[in-house]
């Protein structure tokens, strides 16, 4: 009688373990906290203006760790989590919105970057010329 209970208990335990191991959703990669330093003041010889300074944006893109998630030839980055920025051709206004508020796997940067820094990065990633 005791052996029957032991076999029954082990069988139930195995069923519970098997039920807990299967059928979960496949998780997409999510970036971890990006390490790097963000310059407090942007320096650069870009055009400036209302749409930001692409030259300063390149420096911020690099120092803020954007390349750890994004592939972008102009920044020398090859991240695989976020969109390939060489292919996306994101318009400036959409880039500002995405950088500030995040979306999908991308965290918001409005608390880490100033409005000017966000504008500069958006100008850099949305610039049409290569190089």
User: pLDDT means per 10 residues in the chain (131 residues)?
Assistant: 76 65 57 61 46 92 92 91 90 95 92 95 81 44
Beta-carbon-side half-sphere exposure of residue 64 (alpha carbons within 13 Å): 25
Residues in the chain: 131
Tell me what pLDDT residue 42 has: 47
Enter the DSSP assignment of 50: T
On whether the CB atoms of residues 69 and 63 are closer than 8 A, the answer is no
On whether the CB atoms of residues 59 and 44 are closer than 8 A, the answer is yes
Domains of the chain: 56-126 (1.10.760.10)
């Amino acid at each position: 009688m005791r052996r029957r209970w032991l076999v029954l208990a082990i069988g139930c335990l195995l069923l519970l373990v098997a039920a807990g191991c299967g059928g979960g959703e496949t998780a997409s990669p999510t970036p971890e906290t990006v390490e790097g330093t963000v310059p407090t003041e942007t320096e650069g010889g870009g055009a400036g203006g209302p749409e930001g300074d692409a030259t300063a944006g390149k420096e911020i893109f690099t120092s803020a760790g954007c390349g750890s998630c994004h592939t972008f030839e102009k920044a020398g980055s090859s991240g695989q989590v976020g969109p390939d920025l060489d292919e996306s051709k994101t318009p400036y206004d959409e880039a500002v919105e995405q950088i500030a508020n995040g979306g999908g796997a991308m965290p918001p940067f409005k608390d880490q970057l100033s409005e000017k820094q966000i504008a500069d990065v958006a100008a850099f990633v949305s610039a049409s010329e290569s190089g």
